[in-house]
Amino acid sequence: MPAGLFEADTSFPNLTNKKTTDEKIKAIQDYLYMLLETLRWTLRNLSPENFNDEEMAPYIGGATVNEFMFEIANNEEIRDEFETIVADTIISNMLITNELYAEYGEIADLVVDELRTDYKRVARYNPPIGQSRSTAPLDYIHIHDEEIDFITETVKTIGGEPQIEQFHHGARYFWWYDAEHTQITSTHDTGDPVIVYQYNRLIKGTIHFETVNGTKIPTFVLGAGTGDPQDADIGKGFLRKNTSSLDMWLHGDQDNGIFIGQYTDLVGLRKPTTIDFSNWGDGTASGGFSETLEGDIVNSFTVDFDNGVPIRFTDAQGDITEVVWE
């Protein structure tokens, strides 16, 4: 069996970018074999009746297995502390934050409460040897609280100088795990903080649930808006499939858009302000007229006559509308 119960934790494969794919696969295979043997030994010795006291003694301060398990089961303070250590070491620090953030590979069947794709934040300030630092905008997706945010961040500057900070996520700060700067950790202060640029954050789009008539419906929000202090949604576009309609609109003083249900409504179309017949003519030759819409958009038409009767309108693009009188 492995040298210790926790070797599966401390011997997690170090899959640095310097290793080839074959080397990484071999390291994972070796680790899985060690993990399998550890689990086999542990499961065989779970029962207090068949636990090997001599084997377990170094890990539990010399007490017998029965004494150790009785103490955990009957001491609430020790039991809570034991559960906290296990949860913090295996889930929060070692497996999720420390390892997944340090090595970027393909992960299947992952269930988390939050997901970000801004892993390039570290590499922007700490690029591989031979590459330059990048202050280009950082685009990424943030999934949290039943919402997907599409975000662009730009580097903060003061007097033209980019600002920096220690990399952190909330109250969790990160340090370089090794001198080669191949992995990062948040489990302890190594004295070598991971430095990144400071960024200004702009959400350019979201997908989230909104309650409409008592039903939660996914809503797409497009754009960052105009920054209106009275209404943060001014200038944003919306797309929503309600139970009985499909709506797409631009939010403003009036919501202009397309609302498709039993009928299709186009809200916010330009209205005509002037129709000019001054070039109509005398009915013996081609004449014309124009229509001015809101926003000073002018559409011009030529008119063809037959014995003084208009029979055809032609717009500026050459599209023809026939006029029938009988």
Pair 289, 301: CB distance under 8 Å: yes
Taking 50 as the pLDDT cut, the residues of the chain under it are 1-6, 85-99, 101-104
* Res 114: pLDDT: 85
Same domain assignment for residues 22 and 95: yes
What would the DSSP string read from start to end of 76-87? HHHHHHHHHHHH
Same domain assignment for residues 280 and 261: no
Same domain assignment for residues 232 and 190: no
Q: Which amino acid is at 46?
A: L
- Flag whether 108 is in a domain: no
* Res 1: pLDDT: 43
Q: How far is CA 52 from the centre of its chain?
A: 49
Number of C-beta neighbours around residue 301 at 10 A = 17
Same domain assignment for residues 198 and 208: no
- Flag whether 58 is in a domain: yes
What would the DSSP string read from start to end of 78-124? HHHHHHHHHHIIIIIIIIIIIIIHHS-----S---SEEE--THHHHH
CA 232/CA 4 separation, integer angstroms: 57
Torsion of CA 228, 230, 232, 236, to 10 degrees: -60
* Res 273: pLDDT: 96
Same domain assignment for residues 304 and 251: no
Same domain assignment for residues 213 and 170: no
Could you list the residue range(s) of the whole structural domain that residue 246 is in? 203-265
**DSSP code at position 130:** T
pLDDT 10s digits, 57-70 = 665 555 665 565 55
Pair 212, 242: CB distance under 8 Å: yes
Same domain assignment for residues 250 and 163: no
Pair 154, 61: CB distance under 8 Å: no
* Res 9: pLDDT: 53
Helix (H) or strand (E) holding 73: helix 65-74
**Does the pTM exceed 0.75?**
no
* Res 111: pLDDT: 72
